[in-house]
A and B are shown apart, each in its own frame.
Chain A
Amino acid sequence: MTEVLSEQVGSGSRSGALLEVDNLHVEFHTRAGVAKAVNGVTYSVDAGETLAVLGESGSGKSVTAQTIMGILDMPPGKITGGEIRFRGVDLLKLPEDQRRKIRGEGISMVFQDALSALNPVFPVGWQIAEMFRMHRGTSRAEAKKKAIELMDRVRIPAAKDRVNDFPHQFSGGMRQRIMIAMAIALDPEILIADEPTTALDVTVQAQIMELLAELQRESNMGLILITHDLGVVADVADKIAVMYGGRIVEHAEVHDLYKNPAHPYSKGLLESIPRVDHKGQELYAIKGMPPNLLEMPSGCAFHPRCPYRRETCETDVPPLYTISGTRGSACHYWREVIDEGQR
Chain B
Amino acid sequence: MKASAESILEVRDLVKHFPLTQGIIVKRQIGAIKAVDGVSFDLHRGETLGIVGESGCGKSTLAKLLMALERPTSGSVRIHGKDITKAKGAELKRMRRNIQMVMQDPYTSLNPRMTVGDIVGEPFEIHPDVAPKGDRRRRVQELLEVVGLNPDHINRYPHQFSGGQRQRIGIARGLALQPEIIICDEPVSALDVSIQAQVMNLLERLQNEFGLSYIFIAHDLSVVRHISDRVAVMYLGKIVELGTDSEIYDSPTHPYTQALLSAVPVPDPEGRETRQRIILQGDPPSPANPPSGCHFRTRCWKAQDICAQQVPVLERRPGSDHPSACHFAEVRDVVNAQ
Footprint of B on A, CB under 8 Å?
56-57, 157, 171-174, 201-207, 209-210, 228-235, 237, 254-255, 258-259, 268-270, 272-276, 278-280, 282-287, 289-290
Q: Given that A201-B55, A203-B260, A279-B225 are known contacts, is A285 also in contact with B277, CB under 8 Å in the complex?
A: no
In the assembled complex, the Cα of A280 lies from the Cα of B263 at a distance in Å of 25
Q: Given that A203-B54, A289-B162 are known contacts, is A273 also in contact with B267, CB under 8 Å in the complex?
A: yes
Contact partners of A259 in chain B: CB under 8 A: 270
Most buried by B among A173, A206, A209: A206
Contact partners of B222 in chain A: CB under 8 A: 273-275
Residue pair A229, B265 in contact (C-beta under 8 Å) = yes
B269 close to chain A: CB less than 8 A: yes
In the assembled complex, the Cα of A72 lies from the Cα of B195 at a distance in Å of 28
Interface size on B, residues (CB 8 A): 44
Residue pair B226, A279 in contact (C-beta under 8 Å) = yes
Q: Given that A173-B283, A204-B283, A282-B201 are known contacts, is A276 also in contact with B225, CB under 8 Å in the complex?
A: yes
Residue pair B269, A258 in contact (C-beta under 8 Å) = yes
Residue pair B272, A274 in contact (C-beta under 8 Å) = no
The 10 closest A-B pairs by CB, nearest first: A231-B265, A274-B226, A285-B197, A272-B197, A206-B263, A201-B54, A56-B192, A283-B197, A230-B267, A286-B194
- The 18 listed contacts between A and B (C-beta, < 8 Å) are A57-B192, A171-B283, A203-B279, A204-B283, A206-B265, A207-B281, A228-B193, A234-B272, A235-B266, A270-B267, A273-B267, A274-B222, A274-B223, A276-B338, A280-B1, A282-B204, A283-B200, A289-B162
Contact partners of A205 in chain B: CB under 8 A: 263, 265
Contact partners of B282 in chain A: CB under 8 A: 157
B164 close to chain A: CB less than 8 A: yes
Distance between A158 CB and nearest chain B CB, rounded to angstroms: 12
Residue pair B263, A202 in contact (C-beta under 8 Å) = yes
Most buried by A among B226, B259, B262: B226
Residue pair A258, B267 in contact (C-beta under 8 Å) = yes
Contact partners of A172 in chain B: CB under 8 A: 55
In the assembled complex, the Cα of A170 lies from the Cα of B165 at a distance in Å of 36
Contact partners of B194 in chain A: CB under 8 A: 56, 268-269, 272, 285-286, 290
In the assembled complex, the Cα of A254 lies from the Cα of B281 at a distance in Å of 29
B95 close to chain A: CB less than 8 A: no
B69 close to chain A: CB less than 8 A: no
Residue pair A289, B277 in contact (C-beta under 8 Å) = no
Distance between A239 CB and nearest chain B CB, rounded to angstroms: 11
Distance between A267 CB and nearest chain B CB, rounded to angstroms: 12
Q: Mask for B36-70, Cβ within 8 A of A = 1, else 0?
A: 00000000000000000011000000000000000
In the assembled complex, the Cα of A287 lies from the Cα of B162 at a distance in Å of 13
Contact partners of B196 in chain A: CB under 8 A: 272
Q: Besides A174-B283, A201-B55, A235-B269, 5 other CB < 8 A contacts?
A: A56-B194, A173-B283, A235-B266, A273-B338, A279-B226
Residue pair A231, B259 in contact (C-beta under 8 Å) = no
Residue pair A207, B266 in contact (C-beta under 8 Å) = no
B241 close to chain A: CB less than 8 A: no
Please give me the residue from chain B that is nearest to A206 by CB atom.
B263
Contact partners of A207 in chain B: CB under 8 A: 279-281
Contact partners of B197 in chain A: CB under 8 A: 272, 274, 283-286
Residue pair A258, B270 in contact (C-beta under 8 Å) = yes
Distance between A291 CB and nearest chain B CB, rounded to angstroms: 11
Please give me the residue from chain B that is nearest to A289 by CB atom.
B162
B221 close to chain A: CB less than 8 A: yes
In the assembled complex, the Cα of A254 lies from the Cα of B225 at a distance in Å of 26
Please give me the residue from chain B that is nearest to A287 by CB atom.
B198
Contact partners of A285 in chain B: CB under 8 A: 194, 197-198, 201
In the assembled complex, the Cα of A283 lies from the Cα of B279 at a distance in Å of 30
Contact partners of A284 in chain B: CB under 8 A: 197
Distance between A264 CB and nearest chain B CB, rounded to angstroms: 11
In the assembled complex, the Cα of A244 lies from the Cα of B73 at a distance in Å of 50
Contact partners of B225 in chain A: CB under 8 A: 274, 276, 279
Contact partners of A231 in chain B: CB under 8 A: 264-267
In the assembled complex, the Cα of A275 lies from the Cα of B265 at a distance in Å of 13
Contact partners of A202 in chain B: CB under 8 A: 54, 219, 221, 260, 263-264
Residue pair B279, A206 in contact (C-beta under 8 Å) = yes
Residue pair B193, A274 in contact (C-beta under 8 Å) = no
Residue pair B245, A234 in contact (C-beta under 8 Å) = no
Please give me the residue from chain B that is nearest to A283 by CB atom.
B197
Residue pair A235, B219 in contact (C-beta under 8 Å) = no
Contact partners of A282 in chain B: CB under 8 A: 201, 204-205
In the assembled complex, the Cα of A255 lies from the Cα of B269 at a distance in Å of 6
Please give me the residue from chain B that is nearest to A229 by CB atom.
B265
In the assembled complex, the Cα of A157 lies from the Cα of B249 at a distance in Å of 32
Residue pair A234, B268 in contact (C-beta under 8 Å) = yes
In the assembled complex, the Cα of A280 lies from the Cα of B2 at a distance in Å of 10
Residue pair A56, B193 in contact (C-beta under 8 Å) = yes
Residue pair B259, A203 in contact (C-beta under 8 Å) = yes
Contact partners of B249 in chain A: CB under 8 A: 276
Residue pair A289, B195 in contact (C-beta under 8 Å) = yes
Please give me the residue from chain B that is nearest to A200 by CB atom.
B55
Distance between B104 CB and nearest chain A CB, rounded to angstroms: 14
Residue pair B338, A275 in contact (C-beta under 8 Å) = yes
In the assembled complex, the Cα of A230 lies from the Cα of B196 at a distance in Å of 13
Set B193, B259, B269, B281: member contacting A234, Cβ < 8 A: B269
Contact partners of A268 in chain B: CB under 8 A: 194
Most buried by B among A204, A229, A258: A204
Please give me the residue from chain A that is nearest to B199 by CB atom.
A285
Residue pair B267, A272 in contact (C-beta under 8 Å) = no
Residue pair A279, B269 in contact (C-beta under 8 Å) = no
Distance between B53 CB and nearest chain A CB, rounded to angstroms: 9
Residue pair B265, A255 in contact (C-beta under 8 Å) = no
Q: Given that A206-B277, A289-B162 are known contacts, is A235 also in contact with B221, CB under 8 Å in the complex?
A: no
In the assembled complex, the Cα of A279 lies from the Cα of B162 at a distance in Å of 28
Please give me the residue from chain B that is nearest to A274 by CB atom.
B226
In the assembled complex, the Cα of A207 lies from the Cα of B264 at a distance in Å of 11
